[in-house]
């Protein structure tokens, strides 16, 4: 769906709010990077959020996709379903996240599949978690997950910034 819209040159995300998008348009905004599916840890005293390189139990680290997308909320109790209201409010969404960008009135980057017309452009830009997931959450204790805190999911990769 995303490739078809990109080929037609339709930039539907600029003409409407997130709340006005159809379900297929909403789903096509996801670039498939998998960054939101990394385990995040919250500091109890400060509320600060830390990314890890540990994937959710449903993350397929080879494809950066959810292995049970349709049932994710039933299988992972703390899985957050984005909606138009939460997209701009969730500070832990990566800075590259299309939902976050659109909620803040920004355009999609050139490497986003809807713009490039190619699903691999997110991988080429270094935005995808493919090759960067150390383990899945069920394979590590919480102490081991704490040892896996990383900063890269909260940053825009250099390759993604290049024109």
- pLDDT tens, residue by residue, 93-134: 999 999 999 999 999 999 999 999 999 999 999 999 999 999
- pLDDT tens, residue by residue, 63-88: 999 999 999 989 998 898 899 999 98
pLDDT for res 8: 52
Separation CA 146–CA 42 (nearest Å): 10
For residues 115-141, one letter each, b for 16 or more C-beta atoms within 10 angstroms of the residue's C-beta and e for the rest, the string is bbeeeebbbebbbbbbebbbbbbeebe
Whole-model pTM? 0.88
Structure-token match 């991988």, residue found: 123
Separation CA 93–CA 7 (nearest Å): 28
Separation CA 30–CA 36 (nearest Å): 10
pLDDT for res 2: 45
pLDDT-derived band at 5 (thresholds 50, 70, 90) equals very low
If one counts every other C-beta atom within 10 angstroms of the C-beta of residue 154, the result is 17
């Amino acid at each position: 769906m995303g490739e078809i819209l990109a080929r037609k040159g339709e930039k539907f995300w600029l003409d409407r709010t997130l709340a006005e998008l159809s379900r297929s348009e909403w789903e096509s905004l996801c670039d498939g990077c998998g960054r939101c599916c990394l385990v995040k840890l919250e500091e109890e005293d400060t509320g600060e959020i830390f990314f890890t390189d540990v994937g959710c139990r449903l993350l397929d680290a080879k494809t950066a996709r959810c292995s049970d997308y349709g049932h994710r909320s039933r299988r992972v109790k703390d899985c957050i379903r984005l909606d138009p209201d939460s997209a701009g409010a969730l500070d832990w969404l990566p800075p590259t996240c299309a939902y976050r960008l659109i909620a803040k009135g920004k355009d999609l980057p050139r490497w986003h599949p809807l713009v490039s017309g190619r699903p691999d452009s997110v991988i080429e830009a270094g935005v995808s978690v493919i090759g960067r997931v150390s383990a899945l959450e069920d394979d590590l204790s919480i102490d081991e997950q704490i040892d896996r805190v990383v900063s890269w999911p909260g940053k825009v990769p250099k390759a993604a910034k290049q024109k």
